[in-house]
Structure 1
Amino acid sequence: MVALGPHALDLLLSLGVQPVGYGEAAQLGVKEFGSPIRQIKYLGSRVTSAPLYVGDRFKPNLELLASLKPDLIVGEDFASAAYPALNRVAPTLLFTGTHSGDWQKSLPVLARALGREDRAAAVLARSRAVTDEARAALTPWQGQRALVVWNSGGANRDLYTVLGPKDWTGGLLQDLGFRLVLPGSPDPTLAEGYRALSVEALGALDPDVVFVVASGTNTPARAASDWKASALAQRLRASRAGRVYFMPIQLVGRIRGPIATELTTREIRRQLGAR
């Protein structure tokens, strides 16, 4: 099997399948093309097969892929332009994984292709249990008005993309009992976000709690530094109460499967002190 991206890898690992090849997000700048990839963020400890790095998850090296002779290639529909070429190398499944509830639909499909339906049922049951347990631990936070945003830093450090309930991250936080703060109607030009707002516009929303996802090549530390340096951001009630939390996009926005659900839920509980 080849996993094109962390989302595909999450799905395969959750079903007990180890890949022979792996494609990573280009933003991470992995340079180990054609060699065993050992540094897979958040999922690497679960990988025992030393998969070869095949390049960009959306534009992998087809020659290298063919040399691995995979039985199946698993990826996301971002790679749809490459689907005909990928499918000539091996049967290929490309899933939509960015939205809340996507992996729960994709996992049974992949499990049927692999003959692992029982494993999929167990994974789904465990994920529901993890979410239920976390929601109970987060009882003091139930109904809190939460603003969930991406921020790429740099020249766009004062621009925040608000995430709604259809987004994987926003949907997870809503499942945990938070009430998402949304600014009017969604922007149809944003494929995955809800609406992009300036830091000034965030003031009108005045949420109880803010979750900032450091997107692109941004980091939680840089996002936190930019937030603390913004006088406008510091006026928000959440800032004054010390209820602004910073998280990495790789964990809470790129993996988006059952393992990521558990790891992200654990990180949210840790940061909120709800262990």
Structure 2
Amino acid sequence: MSSRLLTPARTAILATVALSTAACGSATAGSGSSGSAAASDSAGTVSITHAQGTTQVPVQPKKVAVLDMGALDSITSMGAGDSVKSLAKQGLPAFLQQYKAEKYANLGTMFEPDLEKLATDKPDLIVVGGRSAAKYKDLAKIAPTIDTTVSSKGDFFEGVKKVNTSLGQVFGKEAEVKAKLAAVDTKVAATKAKAAGAGTGLILMTSGGKVSAFGPQSRFGLIHTALGVKPTAAKMTEDRHGMAASFEYIKAANPGHLFVVDRDAAIGESGKAAKEVLDNALVKATPAGAGNKITYLDGQRWYVTGTGLDNLSAMVDEVAAGL
């Protein structure tokens, strides 16, 4: 993984699925499209409105290339993993290690996928998101391509639901997706109830011995916006890559809980572990430090994967456990 790991998130998938008589083709609709109702057609295609347009894709595709870990997690979770034939293997999280097998073609990195190999392989569908979204136009020339990027702005969970509902339509797994999302909703409600009386929280990320803080509109902001953890009153610059934070800032923020992502561990880089970085008197003087309320989140889930069905459920579990 590169140090610039996440490209700026685009708009959340508006996705609702509409059947069309058109054959598989490239993206056509503009960013303002709201999508139309769904129904099947004799050609076996489905129209998906996503972060970068509307694309006709084959229903239940047999040969899929995946360039986003969240989408890979979702496709696996809903029981459609057999359709995956190629993927970007760099940075593959531990819980998706089955895709390291030789039978899955390696497309390189999410930032720079092997376009030549994809053109030769001729997949039925290419799925991008987040880090690979910038390559959408190039990939859409090779095969039908959908962008599963979910924005951290606005209602994050609604965006996640739309992304996964669309994937369920594509793979014929609507019932499975509906059940998984209902289970996540139940966990979210229970976590919000715990958060209501748990005090304030501050989200941190360590990387190369340095610390960044993240607010409600950041990539990790669902801790506040969806799960109900009250942010501290400390001033913060909202930025995709976080705001540089000193230990004095953390002490002044006076958080009741700290939620910490170790970026180096997440991407396999050597560096000082987050626990070592935060092992100092100023952090220990906060209510979070003094009360042993520091939760070290799984970086592969929070930093690398994000929006997958099973992954999202595990993320909610981690926050609930920290409360």
Q: Which of the five TM-score ranges fits, normalised by the shorter chain?
A: 0.7 to 0.9
Call closer, same or farther: CA 1:14–1:85 in 2, change over 3 Å: same
When structure 1 is superposed on structure 2, of 164-173 and 252-261 the one drifting more is 164-173
1:11, 1:261 → 2: CA distance? 9
TM-score normalised over the length of structure 1? 0.77
Superposed, 1:201-216 pairs within 5 Å as 201-216=249-264
**Match status 1:63 vs 2:119:** no
2:129 to 56, 62, 76: 76
Describe the SS at the equivalent of 1:110: helix
- Unmatched segments (≥5 aa) in structure 1: 29-38
In structure 2, the partner of 1:36 is none
CA contact (8 A) 2:201 2:229 kept: yes
Superposed displacement of residue 244, structure 1: 1.3
Superposed, 1:221-236 pairs within 5 Å as 222-228=273-279, 230-236=280-286
In structure 2, the partner of 1:191 is 240
Describe the SS at the equivalent of 1:207: coil
**Match status 1:20 vs 2:95:** no
Superposed displacement of residue 4, structure 1: 0.6
Describe the SS at the equivalent of 2:80: coil
1:219, 1:42 → 2: CA distance? 21
- Which amino acid in structure 2 is aligned with residue 119 of structure 1? E
2:151, 2:205 → 1: CA distance? 14
**Match status 1:169 vs 2:220:** yes
**Match status 1:122 vs 2:171:** no
Describe the SS at the equivalent of 2:296: strand
1:104 to 151, 158, 161: 161
Call closer, same or farther: CA 1:77–1:172 in 2, change over 3 Å: same
CA contact (8 A) 1:151 1:215 kept: yes
Superposed displacement of residue 70, structure 1: 1.6
The Cα offsets for residues 92-125 of structure 1, whole Å up to 9 and x where unpaired, read as: 1112235232322212233333343333322221
- Unmatched segments (≥5 aa) in structure 2: 1-63
Superposed displacement of residue 183, structure 1: 3.0
- Which amino acid in structure 1 is aligned with residue 164 of structure 2? L
Quick check: which one's helix share is greater? 1
1:120, 1:234 → 2: CA distance? 42
TM-score normalised over the length of structure 2? 0.67
Superposed displacement of residue 264, structure 1: 2.0
1:255, 1:89 → 2: CA distance? 25
Describe the SS at the equivalent of 2:215: coil
What is the root-mean-square deviation of aligned Cα atoms in Å? Answer: 3.0
Superposed displacement of residue 24, structure 1: 4.2
Call closer, same or farther: CA 1:214–1:125 in 2, change over 3 Å: same
In structure 2, the partner of 1:147 is 202
Superposed displacement of residue 233, structure 1: 2.1
Call closer, same or farther: CA 1:132–1:12 in 2, change over 3 Å: same
2:151, 2:270 → 1: CA distance? 20
Superposed displacement of residue 197, structure 1: 2.0
1:167, 1:60 → 2: CA distance? 26
1:12, 1:67 → 2: CA distance? 23
Call closer, same or farther: CA 1:17–1:85 in 2, change over 3 Å: same
In structure 1, the partner of 2:288 is 238
Call closer, same or farther: CA 1:183–1:232 in 2, change over 3 Å: same
**Match status 1:262 vs 2:313:** yes
The Cα offsets for residues 186-242 of structure 1, whole Å up to 9 and x where unpaired, read as: 34xx2353x3322221111101111111124468981101111x3322222211111
Q: Share of identical aligned residues, percent?
A: 24
Q: How many residue pairs are counted as aligned between the two chains?
A: 250
Call closer, same or farther: CA 1:77–1:168 in 2, change over 3 Å: closer
Describe the SS at the equivalent of 1:89: coil
Call closer, same or farther: CA 1:214–1:40 in 2, change over 3 Å: closer
Call closer, same or farther: CA 1:222–1:164 in 2, change over 3 Å: same
Describe the SS at the equivalent of 1:56: coil
1:15, 1:65 → 2: CA distance? 24
2:176, 2:257 → 1: CA distance? 37
2:248, 2:305 → 1: CA distance? 31
Describe the SS at the equivalent of 2:201: strand
Superposed displacement of residue 128, structure 1: 0.9
